[in-house]
């Protein structure tokens, strides 16, 4: 098939012909890679970015949904991991979140086995009361593998693993992929966004070097500034800082001085929390904090006093405001990544939201008419998803026993969204974990975090009492022993990395 003639034909039928992506980084190159690979035969994909503008580049931990994106693009896991110095991630260790010196792990995967009327947590709760159940993580393979530092990719295995990766190298990897599939990169700083006088749609981008880039559909990946979605289209922003009061972050990379762990560490401090993200060749570190309760210099000093290894770069301070654009799709512009809003990286959801925006946009691909019904449905679905993730993150702050600082006292007593309050009340009173279709975080995630944060249900489902105490013990022991045997058979995760996806020396 003649590609050029196909592209000319699409223009005649009213289909969009030119997609312009403003900005690079993880968001921009994920968008370029997906559009070039999946619809590039019929659509010209152009990405505009400037070498003068640095990317934030700290979204270095992911969740298992990234497999969906890579499967669509037919990206081989081992090649991607070797190219991005990636390591495996099986969950997040939350340290000092419930209270000082009280830690737990939120792992991927599923807990135990329930029945038609009650999830596994009900059986476990009675087992705890009878002193015949151990910690809840013993009944989840990924949780136990986290603690034992075991992992392997084996056939017929659920892919309940994610990655720690170098965001800069990931953008570079995707750029090469996108350009191989026909995407065009234009170097240049955007000077002006030109709007059509009659309808206010974006017509083109004028660059400082004198070039003009016209398009039918524009994807805004310009980060916090929201150059297209906000500066040009004035879409509006909904502020969530009353629920998520942290407004600053400091990021720094260090040499790897200890063997990488197969999980992210999130360590709570009196004014926020610290992350540790282990890659094959280095450690990603950062501090998320509330500027009302600590100065930038104090936060920086705390971070530098709690990391190991030689600094590989200067600490970078990032200011932000948690919240979301009122519309992620406005007129002929779709905001992807930081331009669409910001939720702090507590549960590593930033890359997931980027990929969801891209995949959903491809599923809702409009004609040149820019059908409003498509935009409305896209916005409703993105809003549902981001609200759900927001509530899950807010829960970590709200359900706490910490009262040792003004920051934690505020979080413990702050009003929260009604939907989240209902979930917490439901679990506390009955051990029921509420979930609706389409939500990102499953029941296992809500259960692990609520129990980990100290919320122990007051009762369990009466169907559990159909089992005798001995039957319940046998049931719990069988699950636990089966999981232990399975995890013990796995290699150490670093040994597996060495033979599966070892990164080349830098």
Q: Do 193 and 52 lie in a common domain?
A: yes
Q: Do 425 and 473 lie in a common domain?
A: yes
Q: Do 408 and 384 lie in a common domain?
A: no
The answer to whether the CB of 18 falls within 8 A of the CB of 43 is yes
In this prediction, residue 142 carries a pLDDT of 97
What one-character-per-residue DSSP string does 177-203 give?
HHHHTT-EEEE--EEEEEE-TTT--EE
pLDDT class for 273, splitting at 50, 70, 90?
very high
The 10s digit of each residue's pLDDT in 163-221 is: 999 999 999 999 999 999 999 999 999 999 999 999 999 999 999 999 999 999 999 99
Residue 99 lies in a domain: no
Q: Do 415 and 484 lie in a common domain?
A: yes
CATH number of the structural domain spanning residue 360: 3.50.50.60
In this prediction, residue 3 carries a pLDDT of 44
CA dist., res. 298 & res. 195, Å (int):
45
Residue 1 lies in a domain: no
Q: Do 22 and 41 lie in a common domain?
A: yes
CA distances to 5, 20, 89, 401 from 30, rounded to whole Å, are: 27, 13, 20, 40
CA dist., res. 251 & res. 303, Å (int):
9
For 308, the domain range is: 248-319
Q: Do 410 and 465 lie in a common domain?
A: yes
The 10s digit of each residue's pLDDT in 140-150 is: 999 999 999 99
Q: What's the average model confidence in pLDDT over 401-429?
A: 98
Q: Do 225 and 304 lie in a common domain?
A: no
Domain boundary among 289, 319, 349: 319
Residue 159 lies in a domain: no
Residue 275 lies in a domain: yes
Q: Do 413 and 461 lie in a common domain?
A: yes
In this prediction, residue 434 carries a pLDDT of 85
| Domains contained in the chain, number | 3
Name the nearest CA neighbour of 167 among 310, 348, 392: 348
In this prediction, residue 2 carries a pLDDT of 43
Residue 311 lies in a domain: yes
Q: Do 331 and 384 lie in a common domain?
A: yes
Residue 76 lies in a domain: no
Residue 219 lies in a domain: yes
Q: Please list the active-site residues.
A: 89
Higher pLDDT, 55 or 43: 43
Residue 244 DSSP one-character state? S
Predicted TM-score (pTM) of the model is 0.95
Checking if the pLDDT of 504 tops 90, the result is no
The CA-to-CA distance between both ends of the chain, in Å, stands at 41
Interacting residues of 284 by C-beta distance below 8 A, sequence separation 6+: 58, 60, 61, 164, 251, 253, 275, 276, 277, 278
Q: Do 310 and 454 lie in a common domain?
A: no
Q: Do 135 and 271 lie in a common domain?
A: no
Q: Do 21 and 170 lie in a common domain?
A: yes
Cα 159 from chain centroid (whole Å): 16
pLDDT class for 56, splitting at 50, 70, 90?
low
Mean pLDDT of the chain: 95
Q: Which two tokens stand for residue 71?
A: 């499967």
Give percent of the chain with pLDDT exceeding 70. Answer: 96
Strands ordered across the beta sheet of 248-255: 102-107, 91-99, 264-269, 272-278, 282-289, 248-255, 316-319
Name the nearest CA neighbour of 117 among 476, 470, 480, 460: 460
In this prediction, residue 58 carries a pLDDT of 60
Residue 218 lies in a domain: yes
Question: Which residues in 129-168 are b (16+ Cβ under 10 Å) and which e?
Answer: eeebbeebbbbbbbbbbbbebbbbeeeeeeebbbbbbbbe
């Amino acid at each position: 098939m003649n590609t050029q003639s196909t592209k000319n034909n699409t223009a005649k039928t009213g289909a969009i012909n030119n997609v312009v992506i403003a900005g690079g980084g993880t968001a921009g190159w994920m968008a370029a890679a997906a559009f070039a690979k999946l619809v590039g035969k019929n659509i010209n994909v152009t990405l505009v970015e400037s070498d003068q503008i640095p990317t934030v580049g700290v979204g270095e931990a992911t969740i298992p949904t990234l497999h969906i994106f890579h499967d669509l693009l037919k990206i081989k896991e081992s090649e991607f991991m070797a190219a991005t110095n990636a390591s495996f991630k099986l969950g997040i260790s939350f340290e000092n979140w419930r209270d000082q010196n009280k830690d737990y792990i939120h792992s991927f995967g599923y807990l135990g086995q329930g029945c038609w009327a009650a999830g596994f947590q009900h059986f476990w709760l009675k087992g705890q009361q009878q002193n015949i159940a151990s910690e809840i993580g013993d009944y989840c393979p990924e949780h136990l593998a986290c603690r034992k530092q075991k992992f392997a990719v084996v056939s017929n295995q659920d892919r309940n693993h994610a990655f720690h990766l170098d965001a800069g190298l990931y953008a570079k990897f995707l750029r090469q992929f996108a350009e191989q599939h026909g995407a065009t990169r234009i170097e240049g700083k955007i000077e002006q966004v030109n709007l059509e006088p009659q309808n206010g749609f974006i017509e083109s981008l004028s660059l400082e070097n004198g070039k003009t880039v016209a398009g039918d559909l524009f994807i805004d990946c310009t980060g916090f500034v929201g150059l297209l979605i906000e500066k040009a289209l004035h879409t509006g922003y909904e502020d969530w800082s009353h629920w998520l009061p942290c407004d600053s972050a400091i990021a720094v990379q260090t040499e790897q001085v200890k063997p990488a762990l197969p999980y992210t560490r999130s360590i709570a401090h009196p004014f926020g929390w610290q992350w540790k993200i282990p890659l094959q060749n280095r450690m990603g570190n950062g501090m998320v904090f509330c500027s009302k309760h600590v100065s930038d210099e104090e936060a920086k000093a705390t971070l530098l006093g709690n990391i190991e290894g030689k600094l590989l770069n200067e600490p970078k301070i990032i200011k932000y405001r948690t919240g979301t654009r009122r519309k992620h799709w406005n007129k002929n512009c779709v905001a992807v990544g930081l331009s669409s809003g910001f939720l702090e990286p507590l549960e590593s959801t930033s890359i997931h939201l980027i990929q969801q925006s891209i995949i959903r946009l491809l599923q809702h691909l409009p004609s040149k008419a820019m059908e409003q019904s498509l935009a409305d449905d896209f916005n409703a679905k993105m809003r549902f998803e981001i609200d759900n993730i927001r509530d899950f993150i807010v829960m970590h702050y709200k359900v706490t026993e910490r009262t040792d600082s003004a920051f934690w006292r505020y979080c413990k007593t702050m009003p929260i969204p009604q939907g989240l309050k209902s979930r917490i009340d439901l679990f506390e009173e009955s051990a029921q974990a509420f979930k609706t279709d389409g939500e990102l975080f499953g029941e296992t995630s809500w259960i692990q975090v609520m129990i980990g944060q100290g919320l122990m249900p007051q009762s369990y489902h009466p169907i559990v009492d159909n089992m005798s105490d001995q039957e319940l013990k046998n049931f719990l022991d069988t699950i636990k022993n089966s999981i232990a045997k399975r995890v013990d058979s796995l290699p150490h995760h670093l040994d597996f990395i060495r033979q599966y996806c070892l990164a080349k020396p830098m």
